[in-house]
A and B are shown apart, each in its own frame.
Chain A
Amino acid sequence: MEKNTLSAENRRKSILSAVLGVICIIYVLPVVAVVINSFKVNTFVKTNTFDLPRGEMWAGFTNFIKGMTFGNYPFWKSAMYSALITVLSTALILLFTSMAAWYIARVNSKFCKLVYYLCVFSMVVPFQMVMFTLSKTADKLHLNTPWTIPIVYLGFGAGLAIFMFVGFVKSIPIEIEEAASIDGCGPLRTYFSVVFPMLRPTMISVGILEIMWVWNDYLLPVLVLDINEYRTIPIHIQYLKGSYGTVDLGATMALILMSIIPVIIFYLACQKYIIKGVAAGAVKG
């Protein structure tokens, strides 16, 4: 009897593993395709998409060199703008939303509840629904440069970030802040000396989520930024076409690979926190 249930358990496990394995392969396949094709001569990308870059198909690093030098917009500039926007946006989001969340979690007023539910609501509004009015507004307010677009990101990122921070702040015993206020802290001091350090785990997970989102985002910068002047990496890749609209797929793949490498390295370095953070947000929210 014992044995039977055990083997049933085993069988269930192996079936589950197989199913999850297949799902995993389906997920990874596009990425693998990108890697393979980035080393392939352009003409073979379309015809032999899933072949390994053997023999005459092998292009070495020419695709990468071409991708970075092709066109009239220097790749380093795109990379710089991408990095600038990502870092600025994430910093803004972390600072402002953690402060706001602290207030929302601790002050029990109707206003706070309203703001909180607005934030939660904003998470379910798809970007495509507001993108037209948003890009118009951003233009009007001169938020259309890499230095100001982080404000737009702040608006979009605030929902999830506040949701996660509020969940976490609520799990911190309020006595610690009360002790701080007795020990001689005003609100600002309490925030920076006591609350901020305690929020670190959530800071890391929110930071990672926001960095991955902003770095990979295509639609918002393409709508808001003046693309003749400012391009992020995703935009740069999109514009890797010759003047007659011919697309160099090999070079495109090479650039895509280059743009995801930082994210992958980053992800591996912080993996522990990502999983923790997502789980924390889910449970405590």
Chain B
Amino acid sequence: MAEVSLRHIKKIYPNTEKKKKKDEPAHRTTHLKVTAEGIVAVDDFNLEIKDREFIVLVGPSGCGKSTTLRMVAGLEEISGGELLIDGKLMNDVAPKDRDIAMVFQSYALYPHMTVRENMAFPLKLKKVPQAEIDKKVNEAAEILGITEYLERKPKALSGGQRQRVAIGRAIVREPKVLLMDEPLSNLDAKLRNQMRAEIIKLRQRINTTFLYVTHDQTEAMTLGDRIVIMKDGEVQQIGTPQEVFDHPSNLFVSGFIGVPQMNYFDAKLVKTDGKYAVELDGKTIELSPEKQERLAANNVEAQDITLGVRPEHIALFGEGSQMFHGKVDVSEMMGSSVHLHLQSLGQDVIVIVPTMDLQGIHHDGISIGQEIAFTFGGNVVHVFAKDGKNLEF
């Protein structure tokens, strides 16, 4: 139950790159800014988290998600900016006095304590009476379905059970903010889906603000009220899952959210009589009125652009001059849909077709090498400037 404000939060690690470079060669995926003070792991992070909100930080590995979370927890010093929990400045408050709880990817259970002792530990330290401790631990164990393991040591539990215990230890305290750093990453795919659903349920039952870190966009989309997409220590976009899916602020976000990835084409934005359209492969697609308005509001000029179209927004219906032509390269049957990889316009184009529809169009199924025509409308295209910015923003 708390509001959390992160204002211009910044983290600079002392520069130890020279030593690291030797054993960590060129395949680094991140390009963090390096200044005179050191490596900027998180730069100018601004977020106002509402009471009981579920915020997910998502981004590729090394983009500064954990660092941000650890700054909120107090495990990492804040190099700049202000952190407020319920309006109180927390920058220099010890972790134990922030009234937060944290769930780690590696569970971080106390190996020498039983499950019950693990969960009771934070309450014991708060000097809660024993009877109440027992009550709360039993309650939490009930919620998480670990009652029968209460007297076991963590070593005798499976990964999923351990993570439940870790969550139990975090919720018995009824913290203001519950922090989770990739809590499901160590679990196998099936268990991960199951635990994800349980976290959604858990969330209804307890009155806590959630701050959740993951590199998995599915987790982010399904769990978050709002998601924060980060890259190289900088926030790329903050919004509801729907917002970031429909209106990605830049190329990076558009590619990071959504599987399979968005298709990109080199195209031209043209403006005739105040109307915007995109030109691709000699065909002109007029943008939807909503997009027209946004572009006009930004006074966007005609220019070379990167055109983005999500695979699920490409249609195999239609006829005539607006159709693009391609050859089927690979066809992946996913059950309810089929992912077609087409060779078209000199590049790979991915199209998702619901299995049902596909049967309607191509009765005989799709064979490799087959010629196929596709199109997309002016309402689903994303128009990015060559520097990656979405021109609608």
The residue from B74, B96, B106 contacting A183, defined by CB atoms under 8 A apart: B96
Q: How many whole Å from B321's CB to the nearest CB in chain A?
A: 60
Query: Which residues of A (149-205) have their CB < 8 Å from a CB of B?
Result: 173, 175-176, 178-186, 189, 193-194, 197-198, 200
Chain B residues whose CB sits within 8 angstroms of the CB of A178 once the complex forms = 73, 75, 95, 102, 104, 108
Q: How many whole Å from A274's CB to the nearest CB in chain B?
A: 21
Q: How many whole Å from B104's CB to the nearest CB in chain A?
A: 5
Chain B residues whose CB sits within 8 angstroms of the CB of A181 once the complex forms = 74-75, 94-96
Query: Which residues of A (193-228) have their CB < 8 Å from a CB of B?
Result: 193-194, 197-198, 200
Interface bracket on A: 10 to 19
Do A173 and B125 have beta carbons less than 8 Å apart? no
Residue of B nearest to A179 (CB): B108
Do A183 and B122 have beta carbons less than 8 Å apart? yes
Q: How many whole Å from A7's CB to the nearest CB in chain B?
A: 43
Residue of A nearest to B76 (CB): A178
Q: How many whole Å from B346's CB to the nearest CB in chain A?
A: 49
B362 part of interface (Cβ distance < 8 Å): no
Chain A residues whose CB sits within 8 angstroms of the CB of B106 once the complex forms = 173, 175
Chain B residues whose CB sits within 8 angstroms of the CB of A176 once the complex forms = 108-111
B126 part of interface (Cβ distance < 8 Å): yes
Do A184 and B122 have beta carbons less than 8 Å apart? yes
The interface centre, meaning the residue of B108, B109, B126, B173 with most chain A CB atoms within 10 A of its CB, is B108
A188 vs B94: C-alpha distance when bound (angstroms): 14
Query: Chain A, 78-119, contact with B by CB distance < 8 Å: what is the 0/1 string?
Result: 000000000000000000000000000000000000000000
B363 part of interface (Cβ distance < 8 Å): no
Do A189 and B108 have beta carbons less than 8 Å apart? no
A221 vs B106: C-alpha distance when bound (angstroms): 48
Chain B residues whose CB sits within 8 angstroms of the CB of A175 once the complex forms = 104, 106, 108
Residue of B nearest to A178 (CB): B75
A184 vs B123: C-alpha distance when bound (angstroms): 9
Residue of A nearest to B175 (CB): A182
Query: Which residues of B (243-272) have their CB < 8 Å from a CB of A?
Result: none
A183 and B75 in contact, given A173-B106, A198-B112 (Cβ under 8 angstroms): no
Query: Chain B, 99-115, contact with A by CB distance < 8 Å: what is the 0/1 string?
Result: 01110101011111000
A179 vs B110: C-alpha distance when bound (angstroms): 9
B121 part of interface (Cβ distance < 8 Å): yes
The interface centre, meaning the residue of B74, B109, B125 with most chain A CB atoms within 10 A of its CB, is B125
B65 part of interface (Cβ distance < 8 Å): no
B169 part of interface (Cβ distance < 8 Å): yes
Chain A residues whose CB sits within 8 angstroms of the CB of B108 once the complex forms = 173, 175-176, 178-179
Chain A residues whose CB sits within 8 angstroms of the CB of B96 once the complex forms = 181-186
Do B95 and A182 have beta carbons less than 8 Å apart? yes
The interface centre, meaning the residue of A175, A186, A197 with most chain B CB atoms within 10 A of its CB, is A175
A181 vs B97: C-alpha distance when bound (angstroms): 10
A128 vs B79: C-alpha distance when bound (angstroms): 51
Do A182 and B102 have beta carbons less than 8 Å apart? yes
Residue of A nearest to B112 (CB): A197
Do A198 and B102 have beta carbons less than 8 Å apart? no
Do A179 and B102 have beta carbons less than 8 Å apart? yes
Q: How many whole Å from A3's CB to the nearest CB in chain B?
A: 44
Q: How many whole Å from A161's CB to the nearest CB in chain B?
A: 21
The interface centre, meaning the residue of A178, A183, A184, A194 with most chain B CB atoms within 10 A of its CB, is A183
Query: Chain A, 60-93, contact with B by CB distance < 8 Å: what is the 0/1 string?
Result: 0000000000000000000000000000000000
A180 vs B104: C-alpha distance when bound (angstroms): 12
Chain A residues whose CB sits within 8 angstroms of the CB of B112 once the complex forms = 197-198, 200
Do B111 and A183 have beta carbons less than 8 Å apart? no
A94 vs B100: C-alpha distance when bound (angstroms): 34
Q: How many whole Å from A188's CB to the nearest CB in chain B?
A: 12
A183 and B169 in contact, given A176-B110, A178-B75, A197-B112 (Cβ under 8 angstroms): yes
Query: Which residues of B (63-87) have their CB < 8 Å from a CB of A?
Result: 73-75
Chain A residues whose CB sits within 8 angstroms of the CB of B102 once the complex forms = 178-179, 182
Chain A residues whose CB sits within 8 angstroms of the CB of B73 once the complex forms = 178, 182
The residue from B94, B95, B110, B173 contacting A194, defined by CB atoms under 8 A apart: B110
Do A189 and B95 have beta carbons less than 8 Å apart? no
Q: How many whole Å from B98's CB to the nearest CB in chain A?
A: 8
Chain B residues whose CB sits within 8 angstroms of the CB of A182 once the complex forms = 73-75, 95-96, 100-102
16 further interface pairs, Cβ-Cβ under 8 Å (given A183-B122, A193-B121) = A173-B106, A175-B106, A176-B111, A178-B104, A179-B109, A179-B110, A181-B74, A182-B95, A182-B101, A182-B102, A183-B96, A184-B122, A194-B110, A197-B110, A198-B111, A200-B112
Q: Which B residues are closer than 8 A to A by beta carbons?
A: 73-75, 94-96, 100-102, 104, 106, 108-112, 121-122, 125-126, 169, 173
| 7 closest A-B pairs by CB | A184-B125, A175-B108, A183-B122, A197-B112, A179-B108, A184-B96, A175-B104
Q: What are 9 A-B contacts with C-beta separation under 8 Å?
A: A175-B106, A175-B108, A176-B109, A176-B111, A179-B108, A182-B74, A183-B101, A183-B169, A184-B126
